[in-house]
Each structure stands twice: as structure tokens, then as C-alpha cells.
Amino acid sequence: TATDPRPLRHPCNNWARAVLDPPCRMRVSAKSLPLWIEFVVLYALVPLALWQRWLPPAWIVVSALLYVAGVLAIQKWRDICKPLIPKERVPYRRELKRVLMRFAIVAPMLALLVFLLTPQTAFTFPQEQTAVWGMLMLTYPIYSVLPQELIYRSFFFWRYRRLVRPRTLFIALNAAAFAVAHLFIGHWITIAVTLVAGAVFAYTYLRTRTLHVVWVEHALYGNLLFTIGMGPFLHKASAL
């Protein structure tokens, strides 16, 4: 029997096609304008309102979440879950190995950054509040990371994927939105870290087309930052 010369299609090959995308383009038309308005409100005005305290924070967050929930209720849940359940099998071991290798390189660099910027807080949290730290390590991935990834990766990529090309520009847009969401913490280190992290998480999500791997990656870095002493730059975000 003749072998099929075409390469196997796999969700992890999607990133390889990024360089083949058409030139940078933002699609603005009468059809896409409502989506752009929605994007600006949810991912720019809501974070700005939190940052500037235009309205009570709880009211803003609840209103935004109710809107997202309404969109999810109106649309077919199956369509929204398509990026979470790819038709092709994702090689989780290989992708998790890639995530862990990157984490092994970045983690010492982040620890060094904490020692240089705030040496008085380095690793004090697990030493002084061991029980609280242990509880946070267990609950943060579920109650903070998972909602963030649902809103900033699953919902974001499903809802706005056709507005911007190529994928590299879309990743930059997603990273910027993720960084803007942390403006209200009020520190440039937070914005810089979340900008880079947002790009990494968006890249991982595009590679795998599934929430599972990027959720693990986000949880690893979040727990690391709390452990090494960057909690003061993240505690407001985790409270939300």
C-alpha cells in the first residue's frame, strides 16, 4: 500500500503555521465591530475601571463575569469547548515535558530577580506562614488560575480568534490584555511579569489547543512566585 506523503495534522503543529499566516491584519468591519467593542470593554475598560476605582471592584468584576456567562449561555457550549477538546490526541507527556524544561530554566532566574529586587522577602512566606502557604499552593491553581485561563485563553481565543492575524500578533494582543488585567495591583514589576507570562501561556495554548497544559503551566509559575517572595505583587489578583 502507498504511504500518504502528507504530514500528520496535530494540534501541536499549529504554531508552525504561524509564519505562513497572511501579513499583519486587524479585521474591522460592520460584522466585527461589535466584537471589537466587546473586547475593549471586557479587556481594557473593566481593568481600567478596577485600577482607577471608578466603581466598587466587586460590582465591576461580577458584572463582567455575568456578561461572559451570558455569552456562554447563549452560544452552544460544544462550540466553545472545541479548543479544549481537540479532535487529534494531544501528546500530554511531551508537552508537559516542554513546559517543565522551560520552567526549570526560568524558575532560577525569577528567584534571582527576587533576591536582587526585594531580598528581605525572598522565601519568607513558606518559612513564616507554612500552613497558609501550603493551603495557597493547593487552592490557587483551582480558584485563581483556572478562571483566569478560562477567560484569557479559552474564551479569548474562541471569541476573538478571527479579528487579528497573524497568530504572533494575536499572541501579543492576548499578552497585553493579560497584563492590563493586573494594572490595579499598581506595580511595574507585575505588569512586566504578566506581559511575558501572558505571551508564554498564549503560545502554549496555541500549540496544544487545550486548557489542561496551560493551566498546569500557569499554576507552576503562580505558585513559584508566591513561594519565592513575589506574593506582594500578586495578592490582590489572587483575591479576585
- Measured at the alpha carbon of residue 214, what is the angle toward residues 208 and 220, in degrees to the nearest 5? 145
Digit-coded pLDDT (tens) for 184-207: 888 888 899 999 999 999 999 988
Distance CA 27, CA 33 (A): 9
Q: Residue 100 corresponds to which amino acid?
A: L
41-67 pLDDT, tens digit each: 889 988 888 888 877 766 667 777 777
Dig out the grid coordinates for 56 from the structure. 466598587
pLDDT tens digits for range 86-97 = 555 667 788 899
Taking residue 128's Cβ as centre, other Cβ atoms within 10 Å add up to 9
* pLDDT of 112: 92
Cα 230 off chain centre by: 18
Q: Tell me the three state secondary structure of residue 165.
A: strand
Prior bond of 166 cis (ω within 30°): yes
Q: Which three cell numbers stand for residue 58?
A: 466587586
pLDDT confidence bin for 208, thresholds 50/70/90: confident
Per-residue pLDDT at 10 exceeds 80: no
The reply to whether the predicted model has a pTM over 0.85 is no
